[in-house]
Amino acid sequence: MLALRLLNVVAPAYFLCISLVTLALQLFLFLPSMRQDPAAARLFPPALLHGALFLFLSTNALGNYVLVIQNSPDDPDACQGPPARRAPCPPPSTHFCRVCARVTLRHDHHCFFTGNCIGSRNMRNFVLFCLYTSLACLYSMVAGVAYISAALSTSFAHPLAFLTLLPTSISQFFSGAVLGSEMFVILMLYLWFAIGLACAGFCCHQLLLIVRGQTRHQVRKGVAVRARPWRKNLQEVFGKRWLLGLLVPMFNVGGK
């Protein structure tokens, strides 16, 4: 239990460090390298478009990350009280989380990177957090590949060029042909690639469970769920204002 509680602190710190490093690389390396030739006038400079797109992705990723932490899953006590004042409750699926030391409704799993349980109130924010984190990482990888391609005069036209980049760069780094900043960017490329694929896979898996009306906790325990139309399952999690939630971070409105 002590190891899990320690991981609950280390994992969020790791995520925030990666976010700060990514932001620093975007501001001090990638954006300056995209400055256009003054002789070639364009309506939208590449640096402006890149900065706007990265700001959109990172704002949604970090915004939903904060909302996942703020919106802890409903406590069962919230479903008690007079019927006239009783709030609509999610389907009964309670679970006691030893890390959080509380009982949550519609429990899915405990996310160590947010240090919080994922349940009825923050499921939508968690899915969007995974989605935009994946997009931000993969987009940063593309920008980093463009930077390394220009800095080292390397072509990535061959499919295996990215796979052989790391071992080749390590030998060149010790020989002095590759700078320390360039080597750091190359290492970050593989980290962004791994995090981006992991978040994308987790997002797709979570969406599949939502469509089925299941949670990961129910799958692990073998709990049967009542069959419902997949549209109602999606609406229960993403709500009627789901399109607005894709554009800006907002609280989970459920099926309201």
pLDDT at residue number 73: 72
Global pTM reads 0.87
- Measured in whole angstroms, the distance separating CA 256 from the mean position of its chain's CA atoms is 25
- What is the residue range of 218's domain? 1-33+46-74+92-153+196-247
Angle formed at CA 138 by CA 114 and CA 202, multiple of 5 degrees: 45
- The H-assigned helical ranges of the chain are 2-25, 31-33, 46-70, 123-152, 165-175, 180-212, 216-221, 230-238, 242-247
- Look at residue 166 and tell me if it is in a domain: no
- Look at residue 239 and tell me if it is in a domain: yes
Instruction: Give the dihedral sign, CA 231/236/113/131.
Output: positive
Q: For the chain, what is the mean pLDDT?
A: 84
pLDDT at residue number 185: 96
Choose, from 89, 111, 117, 204, the residue flagged as catalytic. 111
- Look at residue 170 and tell me if it is in a domain: no
- Look at residue 172 and tell me if it is in a domain: no
Q: Tell me, what DSSP letter sits at residue 74? A: P
Query: Is residue 253 scored above 70 in pLDDT?
Result: no
Question: Cβ(72)–Cβ(118) under 8 Å?
Answer: no
- Look at residue 86 and tell me if it is in a domain: no
Least trusted range by pLDDT, from 21-35, 37-51, 152-166, 197-211: 37-51
> Has 137 been annotated as catalytic?
no
Q: What proportion of the chain, given as a percentage, has pLDDT over 90?
A: 46
3-class DSSP state of 144: helix
Please name the amino acid found at residue 121. Answer: R
In 3D space, the residue among 28, 22, 20 whose CA is nearest the CA of residue 47 turns out to be: 28
Number of domain units in the chain? 1
